[in-house]
Structure 1
Amino acid sequence: MTEIPAAEMVHLHVHTQYSLLDGAIRIDDLLKKCQEFGMEAVAITDHGAMHGALEFYVKAKKLGIKPIIGCEFYIAPQDRKKHQGAKSSSDAAFHIVLLAMDEDGYKNLMKLASIAQLEGFYYKPRIDKETLIAHNKGLIALTACLHGGIPHLILHGNMDAARRETKVLQKIFDDRLYFEMQDSGIKEQKKVNKGLVKLSKEFGIPLVATNDCHYLNRDQAFAHEVLLCIQTGRTINDQGRFKFATDELYFKSPAEMKERFSDFPEAIAETVRIADRCNLELKFGQHHFPNFPVPEGDTLASLFERLSREGLEERLVDIREKGELTPELEKTYRDRLEHEIRVIQQMEFPGYFLIVADFINWAKSKRVPVGPGRGSGAGSLAAYCLRITEIDPIPYGLIFERFLNIERKSLPDFDIDFCQERRNEVFHYVQERYGGIQHVAQICTFGSMKARAVIRDVGRGLDIPYGDVDRIAKLIPDQLNITIKEAIDQEPRLKDINNRDEQVAKLLSVSQVLEGLSRHMSTHAAGVVISPEPMTEYLPLCKGPKGETLTQYDMKYTEMTGLIKFDFLGLKTLTVIDRAIKLTEADLDHPLEIDKIPLDDPKTYDLLCKGDALGVFQLESSGMRALLINMKPEVFSDLIALVALYRPGPMESGMVGTFVDTKHGKKPASYPLPQLKPVLEETYGVIVYQEQVMKIANVLANYSLGDADILRRAMG
């Protein structure tokens, strides 16, 4: 028997937490365990989806571990589009494990995962033989667990059918097909493995050893049973509940795997050979901008430039009509716009501005309420000229470099608010304009089992009375992202009951194993991506809870693919304002224009000074209303400062009190240096805005605004 070094074994069948409510392995923990075992490579093969693939790839590469991206697919008995199979174990879609060898394999894996979710979903996301034939290049196939097609036929004594299925898969995958052996103490595996050995000799197809890992350590098997109870809505005491027939589906060490497969050393050695065949290298850092339709004779740059300048002329007419446009101010506007145009073109972002301007102006043309502007994007004059925003950055001293900075190459990111009830109209317009669901998708997000929630979930799974579980959950301190361990350390009552009550100790122990795992997938509140090529060239797709098309990667890893993200946030306040305006239409000679409402109305300020702000966006909380009464805002700039100051940092530091006292003349304004007075005068010597930080760096240290923005970001 050939001795195999411990490091020369690779796990090729692993389910992470992204096999939702089935896998209990966190990617970080998986990679730490690989380091502990001296494993130089590892695969992940989540069920029917690739949610964790890019996270796994990036983190593994960083640690010097070869990432093998895979997926355990469900194969429909016949046609993926026919609603049959997958309802029960007796009428199941069979499993097959596919591993990406290279970029072709990765792209085919994404295509298959997308087809399974978008076309083949029936109880489970399913592919079929037709899709395997079309999208098998660069993929290695393993015959999977007892639910694999060939193992299932062997188990039921149908060796002739197993031979026919082997011929079908061998024709598709050629020398990329492997018989997957498993031995985790399940008696049926013995029978299947004998059949696989026989078929291996007949067809010359290699055997490979795997363990179908679902949890990291053996002592987590019970916690995994509880996880399956959470998935199925059953309890640990239910007869006939879904459970695994072994406690050995953990991430075994190479030594354990060698011992278990001592009669088949070549099946262990084959894991390394397969890993050697998998050499996927992904490239990052390239942006994939959507194809914006440009009129004949124009380029993206020339169209952006022309529309921006035309927009400025329209904006200057309004300022001129108010009698506010001096020659000096006009020069300020023109110089600022030319500066922004140069930067935007140099950073190659004209297309981004044109796309955003297009769908916002479409929304406005359809009377979909659109927010006037939020975040750093309000600092762009070009955006104001293109009517992306309705906030003129010049009178408010907003700085373009906070939004786009030539010193740091990052994508622009407009935070765009739409009426909550009509947001989808804008999304569907974009979808139709850029090629449908193959080019436009919303971004998925994952809900995780936080401390209180996981205790309640586990309590149900353990069949503990709700009142008892709720009492324990409520002992978790109300702190953001607190862990159960931290809670036990901080809360004496929780520590005491954990030490003396066996049932509570079990509840908290299991909960800590499952804490932080992804529980469900949902749709991100705002994120949308648009791709120039079909989306599956860049990432896999799936269906959301309401049938919407979603990316399988979350926001962070979707952006890492280089696709351009746009934020479409549905804001209830815009819906309320729109309804209020419509209610006034019967009593007015002309429609009320929200942008024309004066910002210096005395009666409005009288109401605000009394704290009468219930229902007013961002001003209606009890704390904010108390601050309104204390500050007594008199002008619009007071309201701007008030919203900026109502944050934990300023409130805890005493800045708010200093601002209010100085505003009311109870103490004199203080400036660290005389040259900072022009920067801080409007806020009574208090540094309230990030723009002020940038201006201070500019005035005192002669920083460019680009460098000042880098300093601002470093401050957090």
Structure 2
Amino acid sequence: MGRVYIMKKFFEVFSELNVYDKLRKQVENLIIKSVEFSERQKKLIIIVQSNKILSHKTQEEITKQIKSKLFPSADFSIHIDVRYVIPADWTLEEAWTEYKDHLMEDLQKNNLLINLILRASDIIVRENRVLIDMPQKTFTDKQYAEYKTCVEDLFSKKFDRKTICELTFNKKYEAVHINEQRYLVDVAEAHSRPRVKPSDQKPVAKKDNPASASNSVATKPKEAYKPRAKMDLTNMIYGRNCEGKVIKIADIIDEIGEVVIEGEVLNLETREIRASKTIIFCDITDYTDTITFKIFVENDEVGNILTDLKKGGFYKVKGSAIYDKYDKEISLASVKGIKLIKEFKTKRMDNAPKKRVELHMHTKMSDMDSVVDIKGIIKRAKEWGMSAIAITDHGCLQAFPIANHAIEKDDPFKIIYGVEAYFVDDNLGDELAEEANTEQEEQIKKLKSYHGIILVKNEVGRINLNKLVSAAHLKYYSRRPKLPKSLISKYREGLIIGSACEAGEIFAAILEEKDENDIAKLVEFYDYLEIQPILNNEFLVRSEKYKASSLEDLRNYNRKIIELGEKYNKRVVATCDVHFIDPEDEIYRRILMDYKGFKDADLQPPLYFRTTNEMLEEFSYLGEEKAYEIVVENTNQIADEIEKISPVLPDKCPPIIEDSDKELRKICYDKAHEIYGPDLPEQVTARLERELNSIINNGYAVMYIIAQKLVWDSNDHGYLVGSRGSVGSSFAATMAGITEVNPLAAHYICPECFYTEFQSNAAGISGCDIPDKACPKCGAALNKEGHDIPFETFLGFYGDKEPDIDLNFSGEYQSKAHKYVEVLFGEGKAFRAGTIGTVADKTALMYVFKYLEKREMTKRKAEMRRIAAGCTGVKRTTGQHPGGIIVVPHDRDIYEFCAIQHPANDVKTPIITTHYEYHSIDHNLLKLDILGHDDPTIIRRLEDLTGISSSTIKLDDKEVMKLFHGTEVLGITPDDISGIKLGSLGVPEFGTDFVIQMLIDAKPQNFSDLVRISGLSHGTDVWLGNAQTLIEDGKGTISTVICTRDDIMTYLISMDLEAGMAFSIMESVRKGKGLKPDWEKAMIEKNVPDWYIWSCKKIKYMFPKAHAAAYVMMAWRIAWYKVFYPLEYYTAFFSIRASSFNYELMCFGKEKLENNMKGIMGISKEKQTAKDQDLLKDMRIVQEMYARGFEFKEIDIFKASDVDFKIIDGKIMPSLGTIDGMGDKAAALVVEAAKDGPFLSKDDFKKRTKVTQTVIDKMSEFGMLGDIPESNQLSLIDIM
């Protein structure tokens, strides 16, 4: 029989072959490419294709099964030849790295000699070439040709890639781990002996055994072999050796072969490939340049390597400099060794006996100006032995909290808190500045500003500075936050004022050669004067605007300031005006300046952090005594006058609502009696008392009452409120009406006689899933409640963890909720939580790319990433948390805590935010999370459209559950909706491809299972590679695997672990911190299964059950409307949740829609834009709507809404906003204009609606404008 090509799945060919499940899973996805019978060898050869490694053990086992079960009496053998299908974008090198061990096993079975040769050689795989560098030629030319062909066939057949093999010899190898004499013996023996079975063969050393590495020393053929001494392997963390001459990374500009480099690892990433290997990518720099190297390691070795290979570590690396066709640049591959070395970067140190103090320093919080890492410079100042350092960012105080966290409370190092403000000389008195009217404020904003330093001396000064900065941002902001000097005078107590840099008014007055009397008046305002290194101001010499013509002129300006200080008894200090820490860091600021459009960005002044001796040298032209006075003595004097303070208050300051504890207790018990009757069940009383005692005793009652008032106000306006986080774990929150989630165990309640029955055998089950039951006392149908959630998840094991009450309000009501907070606490007591937007990694990389592009320069991507990293974290803008409200107690003032401002300094918005990023003060001021969400809005809309209250929907409706099993309940098939197998599209939490597949895999049976799936879908490393694997392997079910954080505690307690330990394990696992050894030991002793312990170790983040339950309750109600009120459901969905609905693409019938869908789906996911993907999401819902028999009605401009879809004549009329190009404002204008009567012409329409001509043409095309003429003039002619 010749070769027969088949190309079918394994069990399509061997359909009669019955094998055990595990073996079936291992081979069922194999494709049988062809079958061939060799008469000479009496062998049936089955050639199969696989996209993953098929172990030799599996090959042998399936061969055995085929022979014994299908050909038991045949006199031929069976051989399986595996060909691997590798991804198209893989290089041959990646394929070799992935499959190397497996191929070597193949060779060991079939050609031992080549196996030995390859193990003893250096192998470099590049593009389509395999380069094998042999230590010594020990065979004939004929054998050479055979071996070359063998290797080429091996690669070509296994990977379907044409491969050329080259064998080279006489390379000088370092003797590392191989015994060369043994190698020569092995080769000689391989020539002389017949092939042996693997079981008879002496074991070949494994690759991960250091003693088996395969380099050898090259020897001349006629010389006796002399092994070299072993290399020094001290601190080797990977590979065989790192011997060789170290070269600069900057010198690696081409494929120069093997190199040795030294450097600091800047970035480190891992990428798992297939199931067995991981690639580790590292960027390494020696500060001349940066390059990427990568190593391929077994998955079980990754942890060991990453223990020693770390970001920030210094290493010697030996590898081959080759062109990476994916990165399109030179990188290091085929890494032979990585060795840990000592840091070689020279550090500047301050060796002066007495150190100076820096009083003018900018951090990354100075808008797009400084690249100083706050913690980094504080660490450096401490390393240099300095006693203090000042922070003086441009117009802001946002670095203060970060700096405060950089030192311990008892650390003697002092941070001086200050600002470089923008002073304006307003000539108003103190009182007038405070009470300046709008016109005066506008005049002040137009005045020229000068830089000035303000340092905080004590607690009074801290509060006064907050007041000043707030005024600058709220009242006097004009391109920058300006500060009237009169206002500074009013709040000067506790502050020290300095004259700042060349942009200060003293220096400016000298440059302008102002009258001595005028200068004297200016000097009088300041507590100290400031001078800086002359090269800071070298731009004055370069610019034609100024009279300075030499560096000596700059020195004279400094001498003049010193003269003024002496004359008017003002201390003079020398500062650096720090904008970067080390001289070489100027490149980062250069990048930022270039982005901002500065033409002289490449002429960076040396604004680096200088040591004491560097500053003394800088000012040596003043004489040794004067230089020491301004550099050391005066700076220390000022620092000594300043108290060590905290920029944020350490104490908790919650708002006060009188008798909130009593009110909470009353509300909770009133509700409990309303539900459970006059005689409360023990389970209710015990849980409620335990919770209320914890809440009230720890001072959290006010938080509950605030949340209760907000929720009740929303309910009064007709909107449900969804709870987030773990607040649903609190039964007190349920009884207070804060959450709908009842955390008690599943139980029955009689609505008539209050009979209550708790289900002891329903652990972890939601009450809605227990069987229906009639009341045994009165016969009424019992209500079913409870979700079995422990209170500890919310307030901690001892009830003392601060609660975080997050609530989802309707987006339509959110702004009203924010205003209601002001009603509760009064004007000036509620502020939006401020945020800070900084330069992100990708943005910084874009800055670097643009900088290089302008200058026609090229750098390696690794070097670009290094430079970009120095630009990240720099403040770009400020903003506001989407729902965060900071509340100040009625007896306190916001300035005690922080300054305030408009978000993004938008002077047109009435919104005022905290100046600090809100996390900086949420430890002492209450933050309410009043978030906007679509679910409450869509439910309100569905209630309005159907007249049915969502509160009447039962959570055990079998028809609703069918949505999560298939599409039949919708009256359609998967073929009708592009193959989607479930009906959960458009149902919150359950409509994405990822979750739909989870539903298919997990097969939920009830509401409780949906809660579990919601938990799994929001966790990290909880489903993929964890619960999914356990379910597939039959070790767990959706009911037994870990789905939410609460599952861990409740399960471990049920296994008799001590409750406190169970809680601690839950907290550790949910945060991705894993298990402590003593915990694991205790779990094993209590017979917790191995798979459960394994699962705990994999988890990185877990969702709280209460959050999942709240989400699923909302989702279930929406799903109910989808099943029973489809027209209303689609109307509400398109109005509220459809983000990219397009009238033209979606509303002209199913056929046109599906053609448009095919257009997008024909684009690979990698190339689809975000807009494409959003369109496709909405199209899927539209396709489902069409499949269920519903249609759209054409838009009537006199009936359509601007944003909401409407039901008219049994069809859905889209909103005007769905017309491409019609924005929300334009749509609203059309609606308003339509109220004024018909449009006479298209010109009239355009004039009254302000709609663009493009949109008008589109509307005409759709027939929306009827037959109205182009202009009014034409209309009059027609009438005549």
1:229 paired residue number: 594
The answer to whether residue 830 in structure 2 is matched with residue 460 in structure 1 is: no
Secondary structure at 1:200's aligned position in 2? helix
CA distance in 1, matches of 2:669, 2:799: 26
8 Å CA contact 2:695–2:799 kept in 1: the answer is: no
The answer to whether residue 830 in structure 2 is matched with residue 440 in structure 1 is: yes
In structure 2, the CA distance between the partners of 1:408 and 1:384, relative to structure 1 (3 Å rule), is: closer
Q: State the TM-score, normalizing by the size of structure 2.
A: 0.46
Q: What does the per-residue CA deviation read over 1:596-620, in whole Å, with 9 as the maximum and x for residues that have no partner?
A: 2221222222222222222222212
Q: Deviation at 1:521?
A: 2.2
**Aligned AA (1:83):** E
8 Å CA contact 1:47–1:72 kept in 2: the answer is: yes
Q: What does the per-residue CA deviation read over 1:3-37, in whole Å, with 9 as the maximum and x for residues that have no partner?
A: 99355201111110001211111112212321332
Residues 17-416 of structure 1: pairs in structure 2 closer than 5 A: 17-61=364-408, 65-78=413-426, 82-84=441-443, 92-158=448-514, 159-167=516-524, 169=525, 177-185=527-535, 186=537, 189-230=554-595, 232=596, 234=597, 241=599, 243=601, 246-262=604-620, 263=622, 264-268=627-631, 269-282=633-646, 285-292=650-657, 294=658, 299-316=659-676, 330-371=681-722, 373-394=723-744, 395-405=786-796, 407=798, 409-416=800-807
Corresponding residue pairs, total: 623
Decide which moves more: 403-412 or 36-45. 403-412
The answer to whether residue 361 in structure 2 is matched with residue 14 in structure 1 is: yes
1:474 paired residue number: none
Q: State the TM-score, normalizing by the size of structure 1.
A: 0.81
Q: For 2:874, which of 503, 517, 527 is the aligned residue?
A: 517
1:535 paired residue number: 894
Q: What does the per-residue CA deviation read over 1:475-516, in whole Å, with 9 as the maximum and x for residues that have no partner?
A: xxxxxxxxxxxxxxxxxxxxxxxxx94486774453232134
1:664 paired residue number: none
Q: Deviation at 1:411?
A: 1.6
In structure 2, the CA distance between the partners of 1:104 and 1:620, relative to structure 1 (3 Å rule), is: same
CA distance in 2, matches of 1:102, 1:26: 25
2:990 paired residue number: 619
In structure 2, the CA distance between the partners of 1:43 and 1:410, relative to structure 1 (3 Å rule), is: farther
Q: Deviation at 1:213?
A: 0.8
Structure 2, gaps ≥5 residues long: 1-349, 427-432, 541-553, 745-785, 967-981, 1072-1280
Q: What does the per-residue CA deviation read over 1:567-601, in whole Å, with 9 as the maximum and x for residues that have no partner?
A: 111123333333333333xxx3xxx3223222122
Larger RCO, structures 1/2 (Cα 8 Å, 6+ apart): 1
Secondary structure at 1:570's aligned position in 2? strand
Secondary structure at 2:579's aligned position in 1? coil
CA distance in 2, matches of 1:118, 1:95: 19
Q: For 2:915, which of 538, 552, 568 is the aligned residue?
A: 552
**Aligned AA (2:819):** H
Q: For 1:451, which of 837, 841, 859 is the aligned residue?
A: 841
Decide which moves more: 65-74 or 599-608. 599-608
1 or 2, which has the higher helix percentage?
A: 1
8 Å CA contact 1:419–1:571 kept in 2: the answer is: yes
CA distance in 1, matches of 2:371, 2:528: 26
CA distance in 2, matches of 1:25, 1:659: 50
Secondary structure at 2:455's aligned position in 1? strand
1 or 2, which has the higher strand percentage?
A: 2
Q: Deviation at 1:461?
A: 4.1
**Aligned AA (1:37):** W
Residues 646-685 of structure 1: pairs in structure 2 closer than 5 A: 646=1017, 647-659=1019-1031, 684-685=1039-1040
Q: Which has the larger radius of gyration?
A: 2
In structure 2, the CA distance between the partners of 1:86 and 1:668, relative to structure 1 (3 Å rule), is: closer
Secondary structure at 2:442's aligned position in 1? coil
CA distance in 1, matches of 2:862, 2:1025: 41
1:484 paired residue number: none
CA distance in 2, matches of 1:423, 1:136: 40
8 Å CA contact 1:184–1:211 kept in 2: the answer is: no
The answer to whether residue 926 in structure 2 is matched with residue 564 in structure 1 is: yes
Q: Deviation at 1:531?
A: 0.8
2:1066 paired residue number: 712
8 Å CA contact 1:86–1:124 kept in 2: the answer is: no
**Aligned AA (1:650):** V
CA distance in 2, matches of 1:165, 1:689: 66
Q: Deviation at 1:341?
A: 1.1
Identity percentage of aligned residues: 24
Q: What does the per-residue CA deviation read over 1:459-478, in whole Å, with 9 as the maximum and x for residues that have no partner?
A: 2344549xx9xxxxxxxxxx
Q: What does the per-residue CA deviation read over 1:671-696, in whole Å, with 9 as the maximum and x for residues that have no partner?
A: xxxxxxxxxxxx54323332232224
CA distance in 1, matches of 2:379, 2:992: 45
In structure 2, the CA distance between the partners of 1:149 and 1:266, relative to structure 1 (3 Å rule), is: same
Secondary structure at 1:74's aligned position in 2? strand
Q: What does the per-residue CA deviation read over 1:267-298, in whole Å, with 9 as the maximum and x for residues that have no partner?
A: 11211111111222338652101132x3xxxx
Q: For 1:689, which of 1028, 1039, 1044 is the aligned residue?
A: 1044
CA distance in 1, matches of 2:860, 2:790: 59
Q: Deviation at 1:444?
A: 2.1
Q: Deviation at 1:660?
A: 7.3
CA distance in 2, matches of 1:421, 1:407: 38
Q: For 1:602, which of 958, 977, 981 is the aligned residue?
A: 958
In structure 2, the CA distance between the partners of 1:30 and 1:658, relative to structure 1 (3 Å rule), is: same
CA distance in 1, matches of 2:654, 2:716: 25
Q: For 2:810, which of 391, 398, 419 is the aligned residue?
A: 419
In structure 2, the CA distance between the partners of 1:537 and 1:462, relative to structure 1 (3 Å rule), is: same
2:820 paired residue number: 429
Give me the CA root mean square deviation. Answer: 2.9
8 Å CA contact 2:363–2:373 kept in 1: the answer is: yes
In structure 2, the CA distance between the partners of 1:596 and 1:254, relative to structure 1 (3 Å rule), is: farther
Q: Deviation at 1:700?
A: 4.5
CA distance in 2, matches of 1:121, 1:34: 34
Q: Deviation at 1:45?
A: 0.6
8 Å CA contact 2:444–2:484 kept in 1: the answer is: no
8 Å CA contact 1:86–1:122 kept in 2: the answer is: yes
CA distance in 2, matches of 1:684, 1:432: 46
In structure 2, the CA distance between the partners of 1:653 and 1:4, relative to structure 1 (3 Å rule), is: closer
CA distance in 1, matches of 2:1059, 2:698: 18
**Aligned AA (1:347):** N
Secondary structure at 2:610's aligned position in 1? coil
CA distance in 2, matches of 1:178, 1:287: 37
In structure 2, the CA distance between the partners of 1:538 and 1:397, relative to structure 1 (3 Å rule), is: same
In structure 2, the CA distance between the partners of 1:141 and 1:607, relative to structure 1 (3 Å rule), is: same
